[in-house]
Amino acid sequence: MILQMNHLQGKQAATSAQDVVGAVYSLLAEGHLDEAQFANLRVHLDWIQYRQNFREPVTVTQCANDRSDTAPVMEIRVDTRQIIPGGLREPMLRAMSVANSAMHPEVGNPSDRIYLEEFTSFRSSIAWQFNKLYWHHLSDWEKATGKGYEQALPGGKSDANHPEAIADCVADFWTLLRDLENKNQLPAEIFALEIGVGLGTRSRTWLDRFRALDAERATKYYPRLKFLLGDYSLATLDRSRPALTDHMDLCSFIVLDAIDPGKTLAFLRHKILHIHLTNVYDNLPDEEFARRDGKLYQVQTRTYVPLDEAARICDACGLTAAELSTVIRRLLDSGPESLGDRGISFWQEIWKAIRVEDRLVCLEDLPDVNLPANLTPAHLEEVLEDAPSDFRFHMSSGALESFRNTLPLLHPRGFLQVQDIFVTNLNDYRLGCHGPGKLDGSIVNWVNGVLLREVGERAGYDVHFAPFRYREGSRTSILYTTQRE
Amino acid sequence: MTLPILPTTVVGSYSMPGWLERLKTEYFARRISRHDLDEVHDTAVKAAIKDQETAGLDIVTDGELRRDNMIDYFVERLPGVDIDRSSKKFYYDFYDSSVSGKLPMAPLGLADDFRFLRKFTDREAKFCVTGPHSLTKRIRNNFYPSEEAFAMDLARVMNLELKELVKAGAKIIQIDEPYFSGFPEDISWGVNAINAMVDGVGATIAVHICYGNRYGKPSWEGSYRYLFPKILDAKIQKLTLEFARRGGEDLDVFKELPAPFQLGVGVIDVKTQAVETADIVAERIRKALEVVPAKRMFILPDCGCFHLPRDVAFAKLCAMVEGTKVVRKELGK
């Protein structure tokens, strides 16, 4: 057995570790685990960053490697934040039983949960439909909770709007324009794009600053600026308009898919001099992969609602358990208003209750596995050559595709900036859980910066990460691109 | 060999297959031998020639599939250039390279690659070399008093090589100078270097200038206006340029291009995987015909097809040939 202590909080580690090892040994002694399973067992003591997440306190994941002669690898993950000292045996047994049913459908599904889908990559999970619902009905959610979405962020406000960070960004942009002008290469129309507009605060601050700098230096760039605000939610774009009143003449509000902005903006290929995103990548559909004993596995998940939670919610909403899946479907397809007065509270309760269980499926058994654009299994293997031999990591599929599909919009001398939470060293995946977590009604995952860097290099850009130095304790980094010559 | 009116060709490179990219990386990781890689290259070049012939091109190249990129193929052969072999992360990256002394005169061995091409096609064959201006932008100069002096010495070495190519049967040689567009201020000495390079070379000389195609994206923007009037001093017969991606916005500039200069018109955008139809190609040719007469025009993509998937590259070349046939028919040829 390998015990891995991830990101534990001080002395709590020793107590948790003793409890966990004790529980595992008692399962071995009672015959719930055989010696071969024990030899291949990995136990992870995690501290989950997000108080609201998709995990039970104890989860067990098994690898499907039927072709192997050895016993399948089994992982037990214990969320030390939710652990009850001395109470591990029962949750462990239950989690093992769930994992067994995940690998062997013939034994039947566990009876203590209502499943909302079959096993699939998390990227295709119903959880992302909840995420989409949140952004499309943001004002309804905010009205019900009485707080804006930015207040749900760690720290209670968005790093997107930090005036100093914006001033530095504007200064870099102005320098680029001046350099192009000096070479007689400044286009007549100067395009800039913000993807994911929030309340429009960042765009307004950016434009105010740019106008002031332009006036101060008498360069007359501001009137040539075409500032595009892109978001996949029309409701969000509409909410941002009032903030941009002062700059309305040069602003365009465009509904676009952050995963493929080029689809909408194809006419601006190679023309946009600056593109910026804040906290968009961490909220795009993601999935996890794992490497175990030299093999690559896809983490497949299925979403469920624990039966006791389902019963409580149904009681409150006057539903039967049998109706639950149908009502959730209606919520996702037609919005909370389709469920009447209780729509919002039903949505919030279900979202809070949703959990995810998972299993690992060997990539060799998935010939049609869809890796994000431009990333082949061969390329992925190359990237992983220097990575830890046993670890689980985010593919950041939505982020990778967004990144790859945004780059062609850049003018040859243009640059992309992304403010987000990045994992920039694959080893960090062994130090703790990097999502998924729940932030109000949305999903958050740390973004795999290593893969972004690789994909960027193949697309002709060097990708750099700078810490967000404008707020002490911030976990944000700034990704920026430079041309790879 | 008689060519039809509006002859079709590629700029130089053909699609780099994923498997070849992987094998090149395997070679750098020392997992396959040089001998094996050479055999792989031979096979890939033959396939590239066959694809060009099947698409119906009038003039073919070896697809430049032996080359990691447009610089290193020459850097590795140029005598007196020091290379940091550890500087590449993957094969397409440029080596860090430098010169610390006067370049000695020595053969580069390009003629062997041309002979291979000649052996496997009956079509007119073109061989492409990177020009001295572009090479000086990538090789660090630790010896010559100026970039111009370095370029002129490179031209001296390359001149000998071009003559070897002619001896091997090369009739069309293309010099690639994409860095002109990034450094328009260098055009004067850049053209002088080309002239030194082609001095006494008994072949048709084309010069290709685009806005860069590194990693399948442009490196610069601007206007071809910077080429004039200096380009008219170049001792070349053909100028091949990028027009398709830019919507032909610079075409009017070439009304100033006098006979007997020929214009190679880029009618295929190689920076997108969307395949043009024959009608679009025909329309682009018609637009160019408003500027240059058909007898002084030839047809090709904007730049090399290196970054396009093979099926896309092939489909684009087929569309180019079909579109050209439509216009030839309209011209009664």
Q: How many CB pairs under 8 A join A and B?
A: 50
pLDDT of residue B333 exceeding 90, the answer is no
* Closest to A399 (Cα-Cα) out of A421, A376, A426, A425: A421
CB nearest to A378's CB, from B22, B218, B245: B22
Q: Rg for chain B (alpha carbons), in Å?
A: 19
Alpha-carbon distance A219 to nearest alpha carbon in chain B (angstroms): 20
User: Would you state the pLDDT for residue B225?
Assistant: 92
CB-based contact (8 Å) between B225 and chain A?
no
Contacts of B222 in chain A (CB under 8 A): 183-185
Confidence tier at B248 by pLDDT (50, 70, 90): confident
CB B269 within 8 A of CB B277: no
Cα of A455 to nearest chain B Cα, Å:
11
Instruction: Decide if A116 contacts A85 (C-beta within 8 A).
Output: no
CA distance A296 to B164: 52
Helix, strand, coil tally for chain B in percent (to 5): 45, 15, 40
Could you tell me where the DSSP H helices lie in A63-145?
Answer: 89-103, 127-136, 138-145
Q: Chain A contact for B271, CB < 8 A?
A: yes
For residue range A10-23, list pLDDT tens digits in order: 666 677 788 899 99
* Across A417-421, B25-29, B175-179, least confident range: B25-29
Tell me the angle at which helices B34-55 and B310-330 cross, rounded to the nearest 10 degrees: 30
Three-state DSSP class for residue A348: helix
Closest CA–CA distance from residue A460 to any residue of chain B (Å): 5
- The mean pLDDT of B142-160, rounded to a whole number, is 97
Per-residue pLDDT, A100: 85
Nearest CA in chain B to A456: B215
**A104 CB near a chain B CB, below 8 Å?**
no
Confirm or reject contact between A182 and chain B (CB < 8 A). no
Binned at pLDDT 50, 70 and 90, residue B318 comes out as: very high
Q: Looking at chain A, which residue has its C-alpha nearest residue B218?
A: A412
Round to whole Å and give the CA distance between A176 and A414: 8
Residue numbers in chain A where pLDDT is lower than 50? none
What's residue A86's pLDDT? Answer: 81
Is the CB of B211 inside 8 Å of chain A's CB atoms?
A: yes
The set of residues, in sequence order, having a beta carbon less than 8 Å from that of B86 and lying 6+ positions away, is: none
Strands A58-64 and A74-79: what pairing?
A: antiparallel
Q: How far apart are CA A279 and CA A236, in angstroms?
A: 15
- Under the banding of pLDDT at 50, 70 and 90, the label for residue B216 is very high
CA A238 – CA A158 distance, rounded (Å): 19
A411 touches chain B (CB under 8 A): yes
pLDDT of residue A367: 66
Query: Distance (Å, rounded) from C-alpha A324 to C-alpha A321?
Result: 5
Among the ranges given (A151-155, B29-33, B63-67, B225-229), the one the predictor scored with the smallest mean pLDDT:
A151-155
Strands A477-483 and B59-60, by their bridges, are unpaired
In the DSSP assignment, the letter for residue B127 is E
Q: How far apart are CA A453 and CA A459, in angstroms?
A: 10
How far is A461 from A458, CA to CA, in rounded Å?
A: 7
d(CA A312, CA A315): 5
> For residues B141 and B250, what is the distance between their CA atoms, to the nearest angstrom?
33
Q: Looking at residue A216, what is its pLDDT?
A: 97
In this complex, do B271 and A270 lie within 8 Å of one another by their Cβ atoms? yes
pLDDT for the residue numbered B173:
98
Residue B217 in contact with partner chain A when CB distance is under 8 A: yes
Contact A463, A428 (CB under 8 A): no
pLDDT in tens, B39-48: 999 999 999 9
Report yes or no: A407 at the B interface, CB cutoff 8 Å: yes
Task: Report ipTM for this prediction.
Answer: 0.88
* Angstrom distances, CA of residue A60 to CA of A69, A274, B74: 21, 45, 57
Distance from CA of B191 to the nearest CA of A (A): 20
**A408–chain B Cβ distance below 8 A for any pair:** yes
3-state secondary structure of A330: helix
pLDDT at A7: 62
B89, B184, B218: residue with CB nearest A412? B218
Cross-chain residue pair B221–A411, CB shorter than 8 Å? yes
The beta-carbon neighbor of B217 closest among A185, A382, A460 is A460
Which 8-state DSSP code applies to residue B105?
P
Q: Does B216 touch chain A (CB under 8 A)?
A: yes
Contact assessment for residue B218 and residue B181, using Cβ atoms and an 8 Å cutoff: no
For an interface test with B, give the residue of A182, A183, A481 to mutate (most B CBs within 10 A). Answer: A183
* Overall size of chain B counted in residues: 333
What do you get for the CA distance between the two ends of chain A, in Å?
A: 48
Nearest CA distance, A63 vs chain B (angstrom): 29
Chain B partners of A412 at a C-beta cutoff of 8 Å?
211-212, 217-221
Name the residue with tokens 């069309």: B172
User: What distance in Å separates the CA atoms of residue B275 and residue B320, rounded to the nearest whole number?
Assistant: 10
Kindly state the tokens that stand for B302.
């904007």
Instruction: Quote the minimal CA–CA distance from A413 to chain B in Å.
Output: 7
pLDDT value at residue B239? 96
C-alpha A178/C-alpha A185 separation (Å) is 10
